Amino acid sequence: MKYCLLGGAGVFAIHTAKYLLEQKETELVLCIGRNSVKNTAFTLNLGKNDKRYVFKPCHIVYEQDFLFEYLDHYKPDFVLNFAALAYATSWDKSFRYYDTNVTAVSKICEHLSSKSYLKNFLQIGTSELYGSVNKPVDENYPINPTSPYSVSKLAADMHLETMFKVKNFPMNIIRPSNGYGPGQLLYRIIPKCAYMLLNGQKFSLEGGGRVKKSFMHCRDIARAIYSILHKGKLGETYNAGVDEPISMKEIVEKIVKYLDMKYDNVILETKGRIGEDAQYWLDSTKLFKQTGWKAEISIDDGIKDTVNWVRDNLKKFENENLNFQLRA
């Protein structure tokens, strides 16, 4: 089996690529990313000494000619689309989210629609489409996007669903919980908090950490993706999440406790973001019933895994930006 991962330098794709390379039937893992990863702390030794792994730097919006050449040369059975502008505060330059998350996806799928080598195009969606919820919601729950980012992801999902119905385009959509794990960029809450505390700095917790999200380790997301590709039903959308959401404050408290520090000494509670959803919570029953998948890594084990990765690479992070930077 040959796999192509778009957005292949991101943390979700790196963990998925590592998981795919563990499978004996894998012939090729082709990762295509906007840039090659320069800081080796973020690559997690992906593909080291493994000839089945190939990385190609390519921008899916501005270099589609190269992208299509790579696809037709390597002829992957499965194309996994991790590539997206993904940040909740997407009201600034929102058009860029549509360029990447909708227009580019439609062009890629149109190119692939005539290719006999393709067995499945898997879109990595988002749980944010359901908006703030007070119970675990399944795939039929009313959609309620609350930002340009989530609107753009919904548009891509709807485009793919229509392609499947009208043109029989082989596709699936996964809507995973909020992912985290070693290799994640430092503007995300778990690695950022760990990095700042380990460097003797205080961490600012927006909104006092009242917002709840369903944090899931990237390896569990990788397992869910593999299950859908090989056991799922074409044309279906699948939620993939943990059983219970957790507040941002509880996440930070676990990091503080693991580092043997005192919360009041190292955490500053600040105002929350305007319009931020209060809680994300997924019902993954459909995926479990059809494939047997279930999240395995506990939040405590996952946080320890991520904090240890940050601690082991502190010196490599000295020049890394701790804030989100919008790029095309």
Domain of residue 64, residue span? 2-179+216-240
* Inside any domain, residue 254: no
* Inside any domain, residue 110: yes
Contact 169, 109 (CB under 8 A): yes
What tens digit of pLDDT does each residue of 220-241 get? Answer: 999 999 999 999 999 999 999 9
**SS3 assignment, position 311:** helix
Mean pLDDT value across residues 147-172? 96
* Inside any domain, residue 266: no
pLDDT band for 91, please (50, 70, 90 cuts).
confident
pLDDT at 111 (0 to 100): 98
Mean pLDDT value across residues 275-282? 85
pLDDT at 232 (0 to 100): 98
**CA distance readout (Å), 206 to 88, 131, 268:** 14, 19, 9
What tens digit of pLDDT does each residue of 256-275 get? Answer: 999 999 999 999 999 877 66
pLDDT band for 326, please (50, 70, 90 cuts).
low
Locate tokens 């609107």: which residue? 151
* Inside any domain, residue 94: yes
Q: How many domains does the chain have?
A: 1
**SS3 assignment, position 293:** coil
pLDDT band for 89, please (50, 70, 90 cuts).
low
pLDDT band for 5, please (50, 70, 90 cuts).
very high
Question: Nearest CA to 43 among 71, 79, 9, 88?
Answer: 9
pLDDT at 55 (0 to 100): 97
* Inside any domain, residue 192: no
Cα dihedral across residues 255, 12, 104, 63: positive or negative: positive
Question: Nearest CA to 207 among 122, 301, 276, 105?
Answer: 276
21: enclosing H helix or E strand: helix 11-21
Cα separation, 227 vs 122, in Å, equals 12
* Inside any domain, residue 263: no
Strand 28-33's sheet: what is its strand order? 53-57, 28-33, 2-6, 78-81, 120-124, 171-176, 237-240
* Inside any domain, residue 31: yes
Q: Is the pLDDT of residue 282 over 80?
A: yes
Look at the pTM and tell me if it is higher than 0.85: yes
* Inside any domain, residue 296: no
Q: What is the CATH number of the domain that holds 54?
A: 3.40.50.720
pLDDT band for 37, please (50, 70, 90 cuts).
confident
